[in-house]
């Protein structure tokens, strides 16, 4: 599974990155989490508001930082 956190490096983006990494660990997954800060790549993903969570090419969350439990549910559903 490919997991990306998209954002320009703001505090909310870093918070989402941390939560996603925590969720991956808690779910005992070995997926790599990629942090994308390039605005051109973010725009190409169709994201207008950051931070965003993209799983296997699909934008799951945009413009907010979800709670850890929601992230875990999204990752579990994307198996």
Q: For residue 17, what is the domain's CATH number?
A: 3.40.30.10
The model's pTM: 0.94
Residue 48 has pLDDT above 80, yes or no: yes
Q: What is the mean pLDDT of residues 42-69?
A: 96
- Domain count for the chain: 1
- Residue 78 in any domain: the answer is no
Cβ atoms 39, 57 nearer than 8 A: no
Cβ atoms 42, 51 nearer than 8 A: no
pLDDT digits (tens, 9 = 90+) for 4-15: 999 999 999 999
- Residue 50 in any domain: the answer is yes
Residue span of the structural domain in which 44 resides: 3-72
Q: Where are the alpha helices (DSSP H) in the chain?
A: 11-26, 39-44, 68-77
- Residue 9 in any domain: the answer is yes
In the three-class reduction of DSSP (H, G, I as helix; E, B as strand; rest coil), residue 52 is classed as: strand
Catalytic residues: 10, 13
Please report, rounded to a whole number, the percentage of residues in the chain having pLDDT higher than 90.
Answer: 97
């Amino acid at each position: 599974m490919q997991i990306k956190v998209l954002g320009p490096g703001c505090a909310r983006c870093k918070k989402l990155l941390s939560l996603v990494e925590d969720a991956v660990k808690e779910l005992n997954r070995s997926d790599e989490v990629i942090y994308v800060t390039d605005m051109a790549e973010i725009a190409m993903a169709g994201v207008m508001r950051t931070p965003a969570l993209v799983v296997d090419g699909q934008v799951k969350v945009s413009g907010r930082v979800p709670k850890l439990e929601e992230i875990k549910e999204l990752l579990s559903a994307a198996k």
